[in-house]
Amino acid sequence: MKRRTFIQGLAALGVAGALPLSLSRAFAADIAIVNPVSVDTLPKLKGALTLYLGRGEGGLYENVLQAIQKKNPDLDLAIRRGPTAALANTIVAEANAGVKRADLFWAVDSGAIGLVTDAGLAKPMPSDLSAQLQPQFRYDEWAPVTGRIRTLPFNTERLTKEQIPTSIMDIADSDLSIGWAPAYASFQSFITAMRLLEGDDKTAKWLKKVKKRSKTYAGELGVVMGVERGEVDIGFANHYYTLRLKSGKPDAKLDLAFTQNDAGCLVNASGILSLSEDPLAINFMRYLLSIEVQSYLASEAYEIPLVNGITQPDGLPKLTSISPPKIDLTQLADLRPTIDLMRSSGVL
């Protein structure tokens, strides 16, 4: 796919279609869903802001920030970059030391968001901004920006979808060869969800069983590439790695399978929160939920837009066909028990 720049997208992108709403809460009769707005209708950003930005998405988030700055030449945006979990810990440590450096935190994983909100550092979300999000993704102190689904990418020359268990726990007892990236943050959030849903003992047994038939990769793009090359039958990865690979290689021997109602199909989210009372910070957040930014991240990053009325990424099944577990994403904040469990299981 030819990559568009977001700068062009600011002028050209619009609402391309309707996003099939996911989960049972999406059409709750008493919850109004407000359509997103164009950046052209948002307040101009003037003044200084410091954003802590978790690394992610191959520079696409950087493209968004550059476009926002270009559209708002009076915005003085300082950016501190780093791993999402490390930045979350830094924000908490700075607050404990009586130091405030960040106005905004854009995290690529909701667990890091939970670490900051649990510390009582996030400012409340205005109701009009939350109303643009689908009901199941509304939180009092942060705004999910885009979603991602845990998936089972599989090699279509070696397997059919019907041969893959629909329970993540049953994967451990199958004879499938598996690719995974245990050191990767998204995988660790997935294991945290498994711990919360299944308990530590079952999760430890699952890890030990899977380890016997797994091949380890540095990241989840590597997992998906290994699946496509036939090095393993299936893998554990966020959905967009498969969609991105297939966008550049349409004949790839690769497809997606989903488990049901368990951690294997967890819907996680990147998100942003304000650490400042300055209205400028909230107005900056409005840009990330705009039509243009949501459309760009859906079409270029293959992430799932969480506002109403934006077309979902090409190649992803309707979200109404996916059954993710019911879990508060901010509960994924405490990774320490997960890391300890993975180490004691010989995975890390």
Rounded Cα–Cα distance for residues 82 and 59 (Å)? 13
139 is in an annotated binding site: no
Pairing of strands 104-107, 267-274: antiparallel
Q: Which are the contacts of 283, defined by CB distance < 8 A and separation ≥ 6? A: 42, 43, 45
Mapping DSSP to helix (H, G, I), strand (E, B) and coil, where does residue 115 land? helix
Tokens in use for 307? 């506002």
Please count the other Cβ atoms lying within 10 Å of the Cβ belonging to residue 77: 18
Rounded Cα–Cα distance for residues 104 and 275 (Å)? 6
Residue type at 301 in one-letter notation: A
| Residues across the chain | 348
Name the nearest CA neighbour of 99 among 46, 47, 45, 50: 50
Q: Which are the contacts of 344, defined by CB distance < 8 A and separation ≥ 6? A: 204
H or E element, residue 26: none
Rounded Cα–Cα distance for residues 94 and 88 (Å)? 10
> Tokens 């405030």 identify what position?
100
Rounded Cα–Cα distance for residues 172 and 92 (Å)? 37
Distances in Å between the Cα of 216 and the Cα atoms of 120, 287, 325 are 37, 38, 26
Greatest Cα-to-Cα distance within the chain, rounded to the nearest angstrom: 59
240 is in an annotated binding site: yes
Tokens in use for 260? 């049901």
Binding-site residues, please?
240-241
Binding-site residues for Fe cation, please?
240-241
